[in-house]
Amino acid sequence: MSQTIFAPWDDPNEKPLIQFKGVTKRFGDFTAIDNLNIDIFEREFFALLGPSGCGKTTLMRMLAGFENPTSGSILLAGQDIVPVPPNKRAVNMMFQSYALFPHLSVWDNIAFGLRRGNASKDEIADRVEEMLRLTRLSKFAKRKPHQISGGQRQRVALARSLAKAPKLLLLDEPLGALDAKLRQDTQFELMDIQEKTGTTFVIVTHDQEEAMTVASRVAVMDEGRLIQVATPSVIYEAPETVYVADFIGDVNIIEGTASQSGDKVEITWAEGEMPIRGTTAKTFAPGQTCHFAIRPEKVTITTERPDSANMLQGRVIDIAYLGNLSTYHVKLPNGTMMKAQTANTRRLANRGITWEDDVWLSFTDTAGVLLER
């Protein structure tokens, strides 16, 4: 039983669907996108993640054709699309502001793009009905956009951009206004559509969990630059910088000086604390400043002294109960706060650790990653 793993970015023979080559976009003297290079492959579900104002929407708008890069080129299937107007691109975009036509009903909004092609009336009707079913809007087909809720509007915008089954679909925060349950359903729906239609998706999201769930690769952006592009698991398990580690998920960062022997590194980080032992494939010069990043769920919390490569003693300051998980905020003697997460496999009353308890934190020497910056 062998399953081919979908990883065209690792295959040098694979031609990317979209290529950004040295793309820079300036608004006046403000640089929104700074010399950006990306390859996005066919059938990818590419997620853009980054803080507000880092240029995600600008990037999408360049793909859709509403902004032209100040310099650099954008290729779609090997062809420069910068001179191609938006209505001639096989690209559809779902707008962050939805941009629904207020004078048209939900039905007509969804049919709008289909009517521009040369599909017959029946084909259009079938397609619209299908989209309405998919987004569970059948009941609202006759309403105008101002007569439906925010989440329903978002689904209309989604349905409208999906209707034409474009080669490339750009989704700018498509699911932000949906409740958790509907969002999850829609995420799976999107993945399903993607699988069925082979459409390439570029999706902007503020929700890292969403990026993790749906994306084949995640790009983390900051101030118009790409910080790291990798699969969700690599981004999570092996971030390249502190910025990425910090942006995706919860993390403990410890700064110290490295002394390396082989792939083992000892990090001296505080007076009177044992050095932290880690493993890395990188090389650190002796005495080089480095950051040790470890996820809270990889830190074990116990009341007894454990036997592990790394052990730290501290006191529980706070416990965040998340239902399935609990996060313990532990203060070390030198004031550093560490987070440890455990699965709540037992009932609340049977758990041994509570506020103000002295505890041990421990982790193996391969649990964390070492970062240069």
Ligand X SMILES: Nc1ncnc2c1ncn2[C@@H]1O[C@H](COP(=O)(O)OP(=O)(O)OP(=O)(O)O)[C@@H](O)[C@H]1O
Write down the number of H helices and E strands in the chain: 8, 20
100 burial type by CB count under 10 A (0-12 exposed, 13-18 middle, 19+ buried): buried
Classify strands 217-222 and 200-204 as parallel, antiparallel or unpaired: unpaired
Among 8, 16, 55, 314, binds ligand X (CB under 6 A): 55
**Candidate segments 50-58, 105-113, 262-270, 307-315, binder of ligand X by CB under 6 A:** 50-58
Q: List C-alpha distances in Å: 118 to 96, 115, 121.
A: 28, 7, 9
Among 12, 117, 286, 335, binds other proteins (CB under 8 A): 117
Q: DSSP string covering 222-266, please?
A: ETTEEEEEE-HHHHHHS-SSHHHHHHSS--EEEEEEEEEETTEEE
The least CB distance from residue 61 to ligand X, in Å, is: 7
Question: Is 37 among the residues that bind other proteins (CB under 8 A)?
Answer: no
65, 166 contact by CB (below 8 A): no
Residues 58-97 vs other proteins: string with x where CB under 8 A? Answer: ------xxx------------------xxx---xxx-x-x
Positions in the binding site for Mg ion (CB under 5 A): 57, 96
Question: Which residue in 341, 345, 347, 344 sits closest to 361, CA to CA?
Answer: 341
- The DSSP bridge partners found for residue 326 are 321, 342
Report the C-alpha gap between 208 and 100 in whole angstroms. 27
Question: Which residue in 362, 366, 364, 305 sits closest to 328, CA to CA?
Answer: 362
CB-wise, 56 or 339, nearer to ligand X?
56
CB-wise, 2 or 52, nearer to Mg ion?
52
Residues 195-234 vs ligand X: string with x where CB under 6 A? Answer: ----------------------------------------
Residue type, 34: D
Interacting partner of 27 out of Mg ion, other proteins, ligand X, none (Cβ under 5 to 8 A depending on kind)? ligand X
Across the beta sheet with 325-331, what order do the strands follow?
300-302, 358-363, 310-321, 325-331, 337-343
- Hey, is 122 helix, strand or coil? helix
Among 5, 10, 12, 30, binds ligand X (CB under 6 A): 30
Interacting partner of 99 out of other proteins, Mg ion, ligand X, none (Cβ under 5 to 8 A depending on kind)? other proteins
Among 6, 15, 53, 237, binds ligand X (CB under 6 A): 53
The least CB distance from residue 109 to other proteins, in Å, is: 9
Among 21, 26, 144, 264, binds other proteins (CB under 8 A): 144
The least CB distance from residue 55 to ligand X, in Å, is: 4
Listed in sequence order, the residues at least 6 apart from 144 whose beta carbon sits closer than 8 Å to its beta carbon are 102, 103, 104, 105, 106
Classify strands 71-76 and 358-363 as parallel, antiparallel or unpaired: unpaired
Which residue number is nearest to Mg ion in terms of Cβ?
57
**Candidate segments 53-61, 114-122, 142-150, 185-193, binder of ligand X by CB under 6 A:** 53-61
Residues in touch with ligand X (CB under 6 A): 27, 30, 32, 50, 52-58, 96
Residues in touch with other proteins (CB under 8 A): 64-66, 85-87, 91-93, 95, 97, 99-103, 112-113, 116-117, 144, 146, 160-161, 164
